[in-house]
Amino acid sequence: MAAGKQAPEVRTFPPLDAQISGVLKKARRFRAGFAEHLAFWVRLADAAVSSAGLFAMARPNTQPEDKGHDGLIFEVGQQSSQAELQSVKNSIAKAKPLVSTAGFRNKGVATAGAQLDDFWLVQNNNIGFVRLEQMLSEVTTSLGLTPDAIARQALLAQCAFNAVVFADPGEGTHDLFDGYQHVTQSALGRVATFVGANTWKETAAAVQDATLAILAAKGLG
């Protein structure tokens, strides 16, 4: 360094977290993560339009393969509140096997991995409690609820499942969510969201490309 001359400012960017980088660069993982994040915003946007009271949604999973439920929205009211557990799947081929197994659709026999089967396991086998606990903690913190108010919401809450599917529009058939009745007898407890993207594979790839381009422009990669 020459004397009397101020060193030029050097801005450095941290390298991307290896796991995040893995999600961004693998098409299949990106699609899954993208679906989860998109579902998060879709549901929040829906709540912003439809909810009469306060609401909050737990952050989506960091990794698309993370265990447990993909989302939880909590809408708070004085006399009632609604908690909706969300599971997100995406498909570039056949969506139906991801939604439920044939055994579940026909006989209600659940096998872990398919969306409705997993809901059944939540409903009957206590699967995923620690993730549920984590998400509830996030939403109650976001909502700024006092201990008394949390107790009140605990007793007022009504629960529902929301099966969210991203796929090509042709996959959104009338029988896509067959077997949902095995999860819960309450019709109000069964929510299904189909997001048809034309075509889903190309849509996700385009977003992936754009994302990587933005990051590259910022020196992250």
Partner 1 sequence: VYAERLRAYVKELGNLAGLSPDDVPLLEESLACYLALFARVVQGEATPRADLLTASLRLALLTRSLVLSDASGGLDGVHYLVAMGYEQGTASLARVRLSERPDDPLENDDWYRLLLATLHYLAGGYRVQALCTRRAVADAAGPSPLYASGHRILTAAFEGGGTNASALERDVAALTRGHATASESMAGLLLAIRHRTDVLLSHLGEHALETWGQRHELDPTGTDFWGRYLRRLRERGFTSFTREQGHFDEWLGRDRDLLVQLPTGAGKSIIGELLTALHLAAGAAVVWLLPTRALVRQVKRDLRSAFSKLGVDVEELPTTEDALPLFAEEAPVHRQVAVTTPERLAALARANPASLTDVRLIVFDEAHLLLERTRGVTAEHVLRVARAAPGGCRLTLMSGLQDVREPLERTMRALGATPRVLVSEVRPTRRIYGVVTDEPHGPEHSRVSVLVHPPSSNAAHPDVLPYAVQLRPGKRGPSDSKTDIAARLARSVLDSGLRSVFFLSSRRSAESQARTLAQKAKTPAGTQFRVPKSATARLRLELGRQAVVETTAPHRVAAHHSGLTPLEQHLVERWVDAGEVRTVFATPTLAQGINLPFNLSVVGYTDRFNQNTRKNEPVPAGEIMNMLGRAGRAGKVPDGLCLLALESPRTDRRRLMRRSGSVYFAEPVSRGAVGLAALLSSGYQAIGAPEWPLELSGVRSFSDAQTFLSLALRIAATGVEDAPGVGAFLEAYPSVSVIDARLRERLATAMASLIAHLRAILANDPVALQITARAGLPPEYCAAIASAVATAPVGEGDYLEWSDNAVSAALARGSARAWHRDLFAAHSQDTVLLAIREWRSGKSVSALERILVNGKVTRAHVGEFLNHQMSLLAQFWAAVPVAAEARGRADVLEATRPYAALVRDGVPTVDALVWLRALGGLDRVLAKGVAEASPLATTSLPQKQRAARKLVTQWRSGRAAPPSNFAIVLEDVLADIE
Binding positions for partner 1, rule: CB under 8 A: 67, 83, 85, 122-130, 132-134, 136-137, 140, 146-148, 150-159, 161, 184-186
Q: Which one, 108 or 196, has the nearer CB to partner 1?
A: 108
Q: Which is nearer to partner 1, 184 or 203 (CB)?
A: 184
Query: Is the peptide bond prior to 199 cis by the omega test (within 30 degrees of 0)?
Result: yes
Q: Which is nearer to partner 1, 2 or 130 (CB)?
A: 130
Nearest distance, CB of residue 151 and partner 1, angstroms = 4
End-to-end CA distance of the chain: 30
Residue type, 54: L
Q: How far is the CB of 164 from partner 1 (least distance, A)?
A: 17
Nearer to partner 1, 133 or 202 (CB): 133
Tell me how far apart the alpha carbons of residues 183 and 176 are, in angstroms, rounded to a whole number: 15
| Distance in Å, CB of 123 to partner 1, minimum | 5
Residues 181 and 190: beta-carbon distance below 8 Å: yes
The nearest distance, CB 198 to partner 1, in angstroms, is 34
**Residue 81 Cβ, how far from partner 1 at the closest point, in Å?**
10
The nearer residue to partner 1, 106 or 124, going by C-beta atoms, is 124
Residue with tokens 């019709």: 187
Shortest distance (Å) from residue 96 CB to partner 1: 24
The radius of gyration of the chain's CA atoms, rounded to the nearest angstrom, is 21
CB of 41 or CB of 129, closer to partner 1: 129
Nearest CB to partner 1, comparing residues 4 and 147: 147
Q: Are 29 and 90 in contact (CB under 8 A)?
A: no
Smallest Cα–Cα separation from 153: which of 85, 76, 57, 58? 76
DSSP annotation string for 51-91: -SSEEEEPPPPSSTT-SS-SEEEEEE-SS-EEEEEEEEEE-
Q: Tell me which DSSP letter residue 197 carries.
A: -
Q: How far is the CB of 206 from partner 1 (least distance, A)?
A: 33
CB 219, CB 13: distance < 8 Å: yes
